[in-house]
Structure 1
Amino acid sequence: MTGPTRISVRGESPYDVVVGRSLLDSLPSAVRGAHRAAVVHPASRPEDGARVAEALRDSGHQVLLIPVPDGEDAKTADVLASCWSALGRAGFTRSDVVVGVGGGATTDLAGFLAASWLRGVRLVQMPTTLLGMVDAAVGGKTGINTPEGKNLVGAFHHPAAVLADLDALGTLPAPDLVAGLAEVVKVGFTSDDVILDLVEGDVAGATDPTSPVLRELVERAIQVKADVVSDDFREAREGGLGREVLNYGHTFAHAIEQVEDYRWRHGDAVAVGLHYVSALARLAGRLPQADAARHLSVLQLLGLPTSYPPGRFEELLAAMRIDKKSRGDLLRFVVLDGIGRPGLLEGPDQALLEAAYAEVSEVVS
């Protein structure tokens, strides 16, 4: 059996992302020195919280279980306030630790809980979904949603460790696993085209939670994010894209999520967002036709959605205008000038935005 892989995230507070199987035994060392551990987990998966709690109690830690709603329903001010109350009632101190167990929404919430309690306590992330492993739990971005938009309230907060246990992927419904692959191919388009080659060469392996192909995809995607985050933790880099490159496809994706009241899977929205931004870049004369076509073919090969219904452009445009990448009234999109060649498209004409939307609306996915 292949042992765990350690991927280092450098910076002011370095930590490792551990990728492997049967990683629960690694948890006690990750929380060493803490007296209490608050385990934040989806209420629909009590067995996940119980399993983590047992490992922590066996290593001498007191455990506070905090069940939260599923998915984006967890990322609200009301849920966060209830978590603060739970920590307050337990007398949670700065030397204690928050452990996030679940998908991307759960780890986002757990991260912001850790960042905001006593101005920052230790955090360990244990993502149980592909999306969480390759994106949300890695990189130190934490946050919640508001009625006005996604992830508009949050903080940068390094985890002390991330344990990506691939065994958890075997319990994922197939649509959730495939949705997570949208974030994987995203960095394939921007930064590592071997990811695209792997998907095109063995789509069955790419969608099999037990396969070495999927493990390599996970490790490659995490390595890309680790490298980007190490160089630009707070999205403050001057010159070049820095961390913004990780938002490829996300301006349109977040607009879909908001318009749909977060009923779409994040990965499904990202897939449509990738198609949209590839069409936008091609229409702007930035992305060659063959590279735009490759976006569509890879997404459809995986069975990801690539279209969005017509007639909702104004709603989507309003949502895009409050995207975090915007500057004042200036819309900014991460685009490609070719596979592996990311750049920015600033202030595109509305006619161009509508033309790209028309293409996305016409595709049958």
Structure 2
Amino acid sequence: MREFVPVVIGVLVRRGAGFAAAEDAVQDALVEAIRVWPSNPPADPKAWLITVAWRRFADAARADAARRRREELVEQQPAPGPASTTDDTLHLYFLCAHPSLSPSSAVALTLRAVGGLTTRQIAAAYLVPEATMAQRISRAKRTVSGVRFDRPGDVATVLRVLYLVFNEGYSGDVDLSAEAIRLTRQLAAGYDHPEVSGLLALMLLHHARRASRTGPGGELVPLAAQDRSRWDTRLIAEGVEILQAALARDRLGEFQAQAAIAALHADAPAAAETDWVQILEWYDELAALTDSPIVRLNRAVAVGEADGPRAGLAALAALDDTLPRYTAVAAYLHERAGELDTAARLYAEAAHRALHLAERDHLIRQAARLNAR
């Protein structure tokens, strides 16, 4: 049933329902479907949900005297039925990525309205109480309730929201990386844009390495040390194919450039065979597109691999040393340069600054390894 949620919400909103009222009506219809379908499954599940949700909305509108104008609009609408899946779903993508929403609210609303996840599932994925997430979603729905679909949405904002979902990874009973891939596939099917394809390719190429990113005890395994036989070659091949088609359109964007870097890593049979010269060239393209400090930090690593650790340290020195992972990168480059005491000290300092437990433990092990030499 979950795959019909964005379609049905989109139909109700397009026919005059406010976003919050439409979402509530669809949830009521889903509850009714759970009760009715096992014994009496409909021939057209989507049409059934649209019809029942529309009736729930109409009932609520009639019961609320303050919404008489809405009731008149409801009565004027044609009989409900199936609608264009692609168009209505795209409307929801752009609505959920509205610039008036904070990133966290946009992600939560996307997972709820487009992904069809329950409030409990979203709360568990973000490790917050269900009541907290319910309030966040309610505020987001109120924010967008008066937004009209009379202007084209911003695809760049939609893609950033989906990328935020992807980077949340896995927690609770929802695999948000897999959910982000599913939603991005859905967007790519209805929105012909090379950056949508670039993001999908990037997600697939990163997700292909998932099984090798942690050891048996949950410890972080850096890219150079990963068991490449555990990489998903099917996802890699699909990601590369999608990326090549996007690049052929000659409308380069940041997600295509990131995907090209990921593809070069995936193409190397071993870490020592990585084409760092090409990766550096792509980081130059990416830096020109975004001028992001984080991109320039990652570029410093690529400089260190392509041109030597001293060149990498020189590139790093031009950046703000308060950047996340700055000290960890400095430690790595100093180790590559043979300055092991400095590297050990910096690894320990980076561990103290790390925001995530797995990263902190990894950096502590690096410091210990050098101190025990």
Q: TM-score range by the shorter chain?
A: 0.3 to 0.5
Q: Which has the higher helix share?
A: 2
- Asked which structure has the greater CA Rg, the reply is 2
TM-score between the two structures when normalised by the length of structure 2: 0.32
Q: Which has the higher strand share?
A: 1
The structure with higher relative contact order (CA 8 Å, sep 6+) is 1
